[in-house]
Amino acid sequence: MERLQKVLAAHGVASRRKAEELILAGRVQVDGKIVKELGVRVSANSQIEVDGKGLSDEPLTYLLLHKPPGYVTTVHDPQGRPTVLELVRSPFRLYPVGRLDYDSEGLLLLTNDGELANMLTHPRFGIEKTYRATVQGIPSAASIERLARGVRLEDGLTQPADVRLVAERGEHAVLELTIHEGRKRQVRRMCQAVGHKVIKLVRIRFGPLVLGALPPGATRSLFSQEKKSLEKLREVGRKKRQSKGHTTDGGGGRNDYGQKRR
């Protein structure tokens, strides 16, 4: 017996968090009855439907996309803006993992693997993300140190980050920031907090996945080593869920790849 939201995620319906929202909204039926409570367990023989459609047995699929600016990272946008799914050709139902702002670009994973998507985005796992930010002005050493130690935003102090000055280009500078949080527009707000507005933001790494030379708007399948790294992450995540009294490493120690925290 498995929890209903976990089964929905495993079948690529949505991430586990979104699957819980579907259940609470009354959009899921089990054996012909609407389920609106979380924690319901189902068996392999249960007949599950979402919005009147049964679950599919599509193979797990993973695509790495270089999201260009001007697209939203959702399956559907109420405002009618183009979504990242319009850039992808796949016979299977995929959805984006994590967020990238409308004006931002860079690495985005598209998959129907709900379990993995949850592990990559859940705060308890602290998956590292690296961004290259072009900012107005040239940050001082003190400003870079502030970004690295943590800056206070309206939703609290940011956790320590790895920050370095990559280049100076006239009145602009290029910073590389590695964070393991997932707050909304976090890098933009961090830079603004030390007086440097971001004018271009590109995510170049997400966990073990690296953007490399993939051009904007293009996709590729994952390399074999990337798949192995994601499977390792899956096993780590399962062990963490099974362990009792687990707490997330707050900045010291090591991340889910055995790497020292920055």
Return the active site residues. 101
Beta bridge partners of 165: 175
Residue 91 CA: distances (Å) to CA of 41, 82, 110, 116, 255: 30, 19, 13, 20, 34
Structure tokens at 211: 């953007």
Specify the amino acid at residue 261. R
DSSP 219: E
Decide if 134 contacts 199 (C-beta within 8 A).
yes
Structure tokens at 47: 């007949």
How far is 257 from 235, CA to CA, in rounded Å? 11
How far is 220 from 222, CA to CA, in rounded Å? 6
Packing angle of the helix pair 16-24, 114-121 (nearest 10 deg): 110
* Beta pairing class for 198-206 and 105-111: parallel
Distance of CA 169 to the CA centre of its chain: 30
Decide if 122 contacts 9 (C-beta within 8 A).
no
DSSP readout, 113-129?
A: -HHHHHHHH-GGG---E
